[in-house]
């Protein structure tokens, strides 16, 4: 696909008229999907698709289009030629863009990830064995994701990676289920078996009569998947320059008042170890890492080309939405295996759900517990808890009330497959919090 994409960009470049610049991006995947219900395969298939976006620039004017590639060179050449003609017509009616910015320095890159996903039949056999005697519901997605960039200035960038993601639940009844996931770049049966064993143990506890606790503040453990809901909310404007300058960031108190999180909190955009491409759609190459929060203090923003132009700040390769694609929270010193004992008495939360801001500028969030939340007493998990709503600020959760983070971290890709598989991911520890506020 790389050679095919480069050929199409070369051909399109030759067809350009004077003073025209072309920016082209490729989005492609070859993925296997398997859906399961009641521990049986209900749907299986393979998706092969490729899209190419074209942005035609003349001076300060630009227009863009996206088309599906057929894999037939002559047909795709013709469709690209028609698209360019259409874009030329649109440019005549398009106003100048004062914040248009794209890379003019040629910086070629190439990353081709290895394939260590394992044989699909072998993986599926392992999954079906895990569901024996249980109601396993889930989806397994695996395969190659490819991204490319090319422009008429001669720059070529290529990225491919092979990843898998198995998102599943052991269902009990009504709204009671243990949700789990296993993802990465290499299928390791022993790691998967460990996750299955942990989920099965929690399923047994979930069969016990549930308890309801009163609203109030409780000592809480947020498993990595639960913490991901908190961190995911922060990504909505928390780290972008535009959000900071327009004061819509949920971390406004950190920026304006110097409010700190706990000194153990260090957040980075870690492109080198994630599954997102190391370049953006304007041709800017991303650094391996950008430190966003260091030892509890805000350090740097993600800067897109448009924000770079608007605010006079150097672009660091961020995409237009200026949200992290490979967020990494540094590990702490606690052992996840000791968590019930460290929690002593309180709430063990595997997942949070329906998170949103209750006070965006104040960093206050709200959401629901779901999927195997437990009451811990005497250092042991003793009963499932009915659904509760939390409402608290990030400054309390990851600041004054943070007891510590776990040494173990979990790689959690975005499981969304709308249009195509996502390349976003987070790598997070669990968090022990001394006080989390529940409102109902």
Residue extents of the structural domains in the chain = 2-198, 216-438
One pLDDT digit (tens) per residue for the chain, 440 residues: 999 999 999 999 999 998 999 999 999 999 999 999 999 999 999 999 999 999 999 999 999 999 999 999 999 999 999 999 999 999 989 999 999 999 999 999 999 999 999 888 999 999 999 999 999 999 999 999 999 999 999 999 999 999 999 999 999 988 789 999 999 999 999 999 999 999 999 999 999 999 999 999 999 999 999 999 999 999 999 999 999 999 999 999 999 999 999 999 999 999 999 999 999 999 999 999 999 999 999 999 999 999 999 999 999 999 999 999 999 999 999 999 999 999 999 999 999 999 999 999 999 999 999 888 999 999 999 999 999 999 999 999 999 999 999 999 999 998 888 889 999 999 999 999 999 999 98
Are the C-beta atoms of 201 and 178 separated by less than 8 Å? no
DSSP state of 210: P
Instruction: For tokens 């109601």, name the residue.
Output: 135
CA–CA gap between residue 11 and residue 136 (Å, rounded): 50
Query: Who's near 393: CB < 8 A, 6+ residues apart?
Result: 359, 362, 363, 364, 365
CA–CA gap between residue 124 and residue 32 (Å, rounded): 11
- What is the model's pTM? 0.92
How many residues does the structure list for the chain?
Answer: 440
DSSP state of 398: I
Give the pLDDT score at 375.
Answer: 97
Q: Which CATH architecture has domain 2-198?
A: 2-Layer Sandwich (3.30)
Helix and strand counts by DSSP (H, E) for the chain? 10, 18
Give the pLDDT score at 176.
Answer: 86
Give the pLDDT score at 417.
Answer: 85
Give the pLDDT score at 174.
Answer: 81
Pseudo-torsion of CA 395, 398, 401, 402, nearest 10°?
-160
Query: Who's near 311: CB < 8 A, 6+ residues apart?
Result: 241, 242, 245
């Amino acid at each position: 696909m790389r050679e095919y994409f480069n050929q199409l960009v070369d051909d399109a470049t030759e067809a350009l008229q004077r003073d025209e610049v072309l920016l082209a991006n490729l989005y492609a995947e070859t993925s296997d999907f398997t859906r399961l219900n009641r521990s049986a395969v209900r749907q299986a298939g393979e998706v092969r698709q490729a899209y190419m976006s074209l942005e035609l620039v003349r001076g300060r004017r630009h227009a863009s289009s996206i088309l599906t590639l057929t894999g037939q060179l002559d047909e795709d050449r013709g469709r690209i030629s028609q698209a360019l003609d259409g874009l030329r017509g649109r440019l005549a009616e398009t106003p100048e863009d004062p914040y248009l910015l794209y890379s003019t320095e040629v910086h070629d890159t190439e990353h081709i990830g290895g394939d260590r996903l394992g044989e699909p039949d072998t993986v599926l056999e392992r999954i079906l064995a895990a569901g024996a005697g249980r109601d396993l519901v889930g989806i397994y997605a695996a395969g190659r994701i490819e991204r490319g960039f090319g422009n008429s200035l001669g720059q070529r960038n290529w990225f491919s990676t092979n990843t898998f993601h198995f998102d599943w639940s052991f269902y009990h009844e009504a709204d009671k289920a243990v949700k789990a996931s296993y993802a990465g770049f290499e299928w390791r049966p022993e790691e998967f078996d460990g996750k299955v064993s942990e989920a099965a143990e929690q399923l047994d506890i979930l069969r016990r009569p549930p308890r309801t606790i009163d609203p109030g503040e409780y000592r809480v453990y947020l498993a990595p998947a639960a913490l991901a809901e908190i961190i995911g909310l922060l990504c909505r404007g928390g780290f972008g320059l535009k959000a900071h300058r327009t004061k819509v960031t949920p971390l406004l108190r950190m920026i304006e008042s110097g409010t700190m999180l706990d000194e153990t909190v260090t957040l980075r955009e870690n492109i080198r170890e994630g599954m997102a491409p190391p370049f953006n759609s304007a041709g800017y190459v991303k650094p391996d890492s950008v430190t966003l929060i260091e030892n509890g203090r805000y350090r740097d923003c993600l800067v897109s080309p448009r924000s770079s132009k608007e605010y006079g700040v150097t672009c660091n390769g961020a995409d237009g939405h200026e949200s992290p694609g490979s967020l990494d929270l540094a590990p702490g010193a606690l052992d996840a295996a000791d968590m019930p004992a460290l929690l002593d008495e309180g709430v063990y939360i595997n997942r949070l759900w329906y998170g949103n801001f209750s006070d965006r500028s104040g960093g206050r969030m709200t959401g629901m517990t779901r999927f195997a939340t437990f009451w811990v007493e005497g250092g042991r998990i003793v009963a499932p808890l009915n659904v509760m709503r939390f409402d608290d600020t990030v400054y309390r959760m990851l600041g004054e009330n943070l007891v510590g983070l776990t040494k173990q971290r979990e790689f959690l890709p975005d499981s969304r497959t709308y249009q195509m598989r996502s390349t976003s991911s987070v790598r997070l520890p669990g968090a022990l919090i001394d006080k989390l506020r529940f409102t109902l």
